[in-house]
Amino acid sequence: MESLINRAASDLVESKYAIALTGAGMSTESGIPDFRGPKGLWTRQPEAERRAYEIYGKFQQNPKEYWEERLSGHSLLGDLLRDLGKVAPNPGHYALAELEKMGILKCVITQNIDNLHERAGSKRVLDYHGNAFKLRCVSCNARYDLEEYDLQELRDEGGLPPRCKKCGGIVKDDIVHFTEPIPSDIAEESEKEALKCDLMLICGTSAVVYPFANLPLMARSHSGTLPSELYGTGYRTIVKIIELNAEPTPLTQDGISDYLIQGKTGEILPQIVEQVKKAS
């Protein structure tokens, strides 16, 4: 284990453009259950999974009713926001923010909607599946903080669904629900990052949710053709893909990752940062 932590630290120090990909396993130590682990939300409440698959269809059919249900105090989303308000970033989130501050990590692409990377101080975060504390215009992708709209007042005045302040389009919560496409701006930017990086640190994801799980495959397949403005011409760079997870994943089993550091993100990431400090 120790030698893998040292190896990850020296790979990070040598990298020119390192990025991190994160999943629910990043936040379990903050008290947010993952979906598919033994204590996962779906494992414990299969009914919640069925309901989660219906959310986006409801929005598409009738955005006004969707919002009315959400604001009624009996929605999955309302419960989620209450729960997320009570948790805090853990040492793993702070470690990634520190790597960014040191100039090593260039961005975090997260599947998590919990806003914990941002709260820990990470500046460049691509919320691949959205952010529970934001709203998004479904026409122009403009994002708004929740506080920018008085949703209760809109409901009382019969003004739902909320409308975009820039283009007048319908505004939805930013969370990307099951069956909903990834917002085009985030999808494009994430793909660019996967094609640009020479190191991908993948933390706490089962890597079975697509299209997110394509990002490591893209990084692996572009090895050797990295942008010349960063890496110089005629210089073959091999992308390093490091996994940090409590258990092996399909990326481990299919040899997409170079190595797996098996353990807890909240414990291993701070140790990696310590080694990076010693090595740089």
Among 143, 145, 92, CA closest to 116: 92
CB atoms within 10 A of CB 121: 14
270 binding ligand NAD? (CB under 6 A): no
> What is the DSSP secondary-structure string of 155-169?
HHTT-PSPB-TTT-P
Give the x-and-dash track for 184-223 against ligand NAD (CB under 6 A).
--------------------xxx--x--------------
Are residues 117 and 153 in contact, defined by beta-carbon separation less than 8 angstroms?
no
| Residue nearest ligand NAD, CB atom distance | 25
- Give the range of 2-10, 65-73, 153-161, 246-254 binding ligand NAD by CB under 6 A: 246-254
The pair of structure tokens assigned to 112 is 């998590």
> How far apart are CB 249 and ligand NAD at their closest, in Å?
6
Nearer to ligand NAD, 190 or 205 (CB): 205
Measured distance CA(206)–CA(248) in Å, rounded: 8
Give the x-and-dash track for 73-112 against ligand NAD (CB under 6 A).
--------------------------------------xx
Within 125-144, the residues that bind ligand NAD by CB under 6 A are: 129
254 binding ligand NAD? (CB under 6 A): no
Among 16, 8, 9, CA closest to 235: 16
Are residues 209 and 40 in contact, defined by beta-carbon separation less than 8 angstroms?
no
Give the x-and-dash track for 22-51 against ligand NAD (CB under 6 A).
-xxx-xxx--x-xxxx--x-----------
Please give the backbone phi and psi of residue 188, each rounded to the nearest 5 degrees, phi first. Answer: -65, -45
Nearer to ligand NAD, 17 or 177 (CB): 177
Q: How many helices (H) and strands (E) does the chain have?
A: 13, 9
DSSP conformation class of 179: T
Interacting residues toward ligand NAD by CB under 6 A: 23-25, 27-29, 32, 34-37, 40, 111-114, 129, 204-206, 209, 245-247, 249, 264-266
